[in-house]
Structure 1
């Protein structure tokens, strides 16, 4: 009974935490370039306990699903999607480097190329500045070119090349802001094998159907844990009555 209470109590607690993760994934089913978070349960024995039968259930974040999402054509010049593996490097306000798959780019009031969230897109030589009144195009290798608006098509001016990286998946971690970083803090070098698709965006890799099924399954598991706690309470009441008779 003691083991039942500990397992059911901790199981119910962490089922709620996993339900929150599943809800977060489902809420980002339409977020550009989103990567689903993966959780799993594991049993952990209680240390320094006189009863070796006690154990807890722990919800462990095992990582991220790096399966590429579907690429959808948008026709917008500053929309790019990473084809296959790889990331777009961005620079944050504190000067640190992070990675994203969200290729919905824009220019700020100073013409600096940024993501929709406001992170500066890194080029091989630093931030990329786009002059006003130009038509911008992004090549497969990340080269950003511009042609002055109102002029006959001619040789395009190369503004820079987006830094594309492909660090090992076991060396990157998701931050609270949704961006990814290397675990060791060292920014990786540019990878020439990473390719972009212009005029397109990558969708989220979250399956709405799978997420809904997981939420239903977790709700039933939570109900099971509650029933176990009720059974433990019932058993304890009956045991107390038996002891009272003796």
Structure 2
């Protein structure tokens, strides 16, 4: 009897967590550069005397879908979309390096280039500072240039270059802030092969239809597990009646 309870109880718990993950994906369907998250489950035997046939359901892997989202043209100079594999390097609040695909950038009051959420965008030598009242362009290789509006129109001055990296997907870990870091926490070297598109943003790679179908399927699976628990309770009650009659 308790074998059924172990499996159904832990199965229902993990389904609720997967439902939360799917809801989180749907909530970020319009978030620039967002990567969908997914969960996989496996059965783990309960270790102990007399318990080798009992099993828990556990969340064995929390992964991310690294497929690219749709590129949307915005025409805004400070919007950049990473084309193909690659990431923008940013500085977290604790000074460590993290990676994102959200390329909606801004210049704060101190002239520092930041993401829309206020994180400093990095170059090979650290945060990037933009002089006041200048027009800038961002080249496909991430080079940020100042367009000279003086006596020689059209001339440009290179200010910095975005740090673009391309670590192995298996070496990336998603944080609670949706930023990615390497498993060992070490900064990655810039990759000259990574390219960006200026005046564009990459949309979320969440498939709305798939996410909605998944939510319906998970709801049905949860109901099935709860039904199994009710059956176990009913069977236990009937067994108690038989024993009391004996």
CA distance in 2, matches of 1:199, 1:152: 25
Cα drift, residue 150 of structure 1: 7.8
1:72 matches 2:72: yes
Q: 1:58 maps to which residue?
A: 58
> What RMSD in Å do the two structures reach over aligned CA positions?
1.4
Aligned ranges 1:80-159 → 2 under 5 Å: 80-148=80-148, 153-159=153-159
Q: Under a length normalisation based on structure 1, what TM-score does the superposition of the two structures give?
A: 0.96
TM-score of the pair, normalised by structure 2: 0.96
Residues 135/80 of structure 1: CA separation in 2 closer, same or farther (3 Å cut) = same
1:152 is displaced (CA, Å) by 6.5
Structure-to-structure mapping, 1:1-246, within 5 angstroms? 1-148=1-148, 153-246=153-246
Quote the offset at 1:61 in angstroms. Answer: 3.1
CA contact (8 A) 1:28 1:34 kept: yes
Alpha-carbon distance, 1:134 to partner:
1.4
Greater Cα shift, 105-114 or 50-59 = 50-59
Distance in 2 of aligned mates of 1:175 and 1:245: 58
CA contact (8 A) 1:133 1:149 kept: no
4+ residue runs of structure 1 moved beyond 6 angstroms?
none
The alpha-carbon deviation at position 244 of structure 1 amounts to 2.4
Q: Which runs of 5+ in 2 are unaligned?
A: none
- Asked if the contact 1:114–1:121 (Cα under 8 Å) also holds between the matched residues in 2, the reply is yes
User: How many residues of Structure 1 are paired with residues of Structure 2 in the alignment?
Assistant: 246
Equivalent pair of 2:148/2:155 in contact (CA under 8 Å): no
Which segment is superposed worse, 119-128 or 24-33? 119-128
Checking the alignment, whether the CA contact within 8 Å between 1:88 and 1:101 is kept in structure 2 is: yes
Q: Which ranges in structure 1 are unaligned for 5 or more consecutive residues?
A: none
| In structure 2, distance between residues paired with 1:43 and 1:151 | 72
Contact 2:111–2:130 under 8 Å retained in 1 = yes
